[in-house]
Amino acid sequence: MKNSVLPSKTLARLISYLRCLQDLRTEGIQKISSEELSQRAGTKAAQLRKDFSYLGEFGVRGVGYNTQNLIEQISTRLGLNINRSAAIVGMGKLGPALLNYKGFPEHGFKIQAAFDKDSKKVGQKVGGIVIRDSSELVKTLKENPVDIGIIATPAEAAQSVANKLIKSGIKAILNFAPAILEVPDGVHLRQVDLSSELQILAFYLQKDEEAKERN
Amino acid sequence: MKNSVLPSKTLARLISYLRCLQDLRTEGIQKISSEELSQRAGTKAAQLRKDFSYLGEFGVRGVGYNTQNLIEQISTRLGLNINRSAAIVGMGKLGPALLNYKGFPEHGFKIQAAFDKDSKKVGQKVGGIVIRDSSELVKTLKENPVDIGIIATPAEAAQSVANKLIKSGIKAILNFAPAILEVPDGVHLRQVDLSSELQILAFYLQKDEEAKERN
DNA sequence: GGTTGTGAAGTAATTCACAGCG
DNA sequence: CGCTGTGAATTACTTCACAACC
């Protein structure tokens, strides 16, 4: 076990192994080899073993890994056994969909607050949560802090919302707005850009079409 | 200019430069240096120049880049000047939000069909599109092909939906279901996993908390 | 025997640093 | 002179291949 930092790609894969392991548990499978688990996760056995090696030694040579034990080890070491709270800002189309997304609670994330600046939406309930006015964001989140802020506003509003979230003391932001945000050191930022995902696919389609033409 | 393949990270960054450039155009800024543009995109100048070098030489030494020209060059070479069509499968919470997402049409993506297997939803209209029965998916998309299939179903259904999309002839899939999909060679797949994004943030939060405890 | 864990080797991506050119 | 474009150096990630171990 190296005690160096986790490469970010390793982190992403560990999370996907975790998901596969949870499926395995559901299927009642108690032990698995690096070969088989890596296949389910869409990677290679050596990659998987190397990934695990950043966290520790969890397997038994000649045998494989114990499903339940691996789940516990990985989730503990990644800090995913702790429940986390979040707030969503922006109650257009995407915000409410995220609020109702059942994958979040399943993975221990509880949406605790929702904000929008549209006074027509403020006061309404979505998924059991009352939408508050964005102007109350800093005050509300200072009184009732959350771990993660989720931005689902239009691009124009995203930076100012991020600033407010940071002011409230938030240290992690997931941004769905198609805008590049500036955040101070110590604040973690992840960007999900729906249009760029399609653009990436569009690029590969065009590449294929070009290749076909050449033949 | 290397004529080798684009590294996938370079592709992602090129798309983000493109977005910044479009903002610049809106602001009426006609020329920009690698230094400034890279800052806006959240990367380094050398990185940006290297990224561009995979596509060609677009700048003027001693001066910088012409905004409009760069936009045209990048979007042409990435094939993003062509409009693309898509179909969404799964009309739970996320599907309709995606159907209404205005970023898609803005970037030349037209959602052309929507499917759900719930007979209560079939026939209803969302965002100007009639929801069809998933059982008609292959037939419908063979008659009216689309470029990209978007999966917004629960994890359990994702693989079988993917199989149907592939059967219909689709070569690009964007999957929002938290499931690892098997697709044949030649079919491009991108995965957006909302929960893992939060899990990644949760990991970094825990790391910070541990570090703080040690001090 | 069979599978893990891991240094070593190989490959890919990033950053440096400067020649080249307007 | 100023800024781009790019080989060379560096750093990060992946794969190999085998010793270690049950």
pLDDT truncated to tens, each residue of chain A (215 aa)?
545 689 999 999 999 999 999 999 999 999 999 999 999 999 999 999 999 999 999 999 999 999 999 999 999 999 999 999 999 999 999 999 999 999 999 999 999 999 999 999 999 999 999 999 999 999 999 999 999 999 999 999 999 999 999 999 999 999 999 999 999 999 999 999 999 999 999 999 999 998 877 77
Residue B159 has pLDDT above 60, yes or no: yes
Q: In the prediction, which pLDDT does B4 show? A: 61
Q: Which of A107-121, B155-169, B198-212 has the lowest mean pLDDT?
A: B198-212
The pLDDT score that the predictor gives to residue A79 is 96
Which residues 15-44 of chain A have a CB under 7 Å from nucleic chain C?
A: 33-35
**Mutate which: B3, B15, B16, B48, vs A, most A CBs within 10 A:** B15
C-alpha span between B65 and A31 (Å, rounded): 57
Distance between the alpha carbon (CA) of A103 and the C1' atom of D5, Å:
46
Give the model's pLDDT for residue B5: 83
Inter-chain residue contact B79 with A178, CB threshold 8 Å: no
Distance A172 CA to D16 C1' (A): 38
Measured CA A5 to C1' D11 distance, in angstroms: 14
Asked whether residue B201's C-beta has any atom of DNA/RNA strand D within 7 A, the reply is: no
Report pLDDT for A210.
Answer: 85
Q: What is the pLDDT of residue B1?
A: 54
Which residues lie below 8 Å from residue B164, measured CB to CB, with a gap of 6+?
A: B134, B137, B138
Task: Judge whether residue B43 contacts strand C, using its CB and a 7 Å cut-off.
Answer: yes
Residue of B nearest to A41 (CA): B180
Q: How many cross-chain Cβ pairs, A to B, lie less than 8 Å apart? A: 172
From the CA of B1, how many Å to the nearest CA of chain A? 18
B41 contacts in A (CB within 8 Å)?
180
The candidate with the shortest Cα–Cα distance to B80, out of B30, B14, B20, B28, is: B14
Region B14-38: mean pLDDT is 97
* Portion 128-147 of B in contact with A at CB < 8 A: 147
Residue A1, pLDDT score: 55
Q: Do B93 and A78 touch (CB under 8 A)?
A: no
pLDDT of residue B2: 47
Angle (CA) A103-B199-A157 rounded to 5° is 85
Overall average pLDDT of the B64-84 stretch: 96
- Separation of first and last alpha carbons in chain B: 49
Is B204 in Cβ contact with A148 (below 8 Å)?
no
Q: Touching check for A103 and chain B: CB below 8 Å? A: yes
- Left (φ > 0), alpha (ψ -120 to 50) or beta: where does B56 sit? left
Chain B: closest CA distance from residue A67 (Å): 18
> Does pLDDT of B182 surpass 80?
yes
Q: Which pLDDT score is estimated for B57?
A: 95
State the nucleotide closest to B9 in CA–C1' terms: C13
Yes or no, beta carbons of A178 and B103 under 8 Å apart = yes
Q: What is the pLDDT of residue B3?
A: 54
CB contact under 8 A, A101 and B94: yes
pLDDT value, residue A145 = 98
- Is the Cβ of A20 closer than 8 Å to some Cβ of chain B? yes
The secondary structure of chain A, three-state, reads CCCCCCCHHHHHHHHHHHHHHHHHHHCCCCEECHHHHHHHHCCCHHHHHHHHHCCCCCCECCCEEEHHHHHHHHHHHHCCCCCEEEEEECCCCHHHHHHCCCHHHHCCEEEEEEEECCCCCCCCEECCEEEEEHHHHHHHHHHCCCCEEEECCCHHHHHHHHHHHHHCCCCEEEECCCCCCCCCCCCEEEECCHHHHHHHHHHHHHHHHHHHHHC
B57 interfaces chain A, CB cutoff of 8 Å: no
Spatial separation of the C-alpha atoms in residues A3 and A6, rounded to whole Å: 9
Partner A, chain B 64-93, Cβ-Cβ below 8 Å: 78-80, 82, 84, 86, 93
Q: What percent of chain B has pLDDT over 90?
A: 94
For the CA of B62 and the C1' of C19, the distance in angstroms is: 14
Using the CA of B4, give the nucleotide whose C1' is nearest: C12
Interface test with A, best of B84, B109, B199, B213 (most A CBs within 10 A): B199
Strand C lies under 7 A from the Cβ of residue B34: no
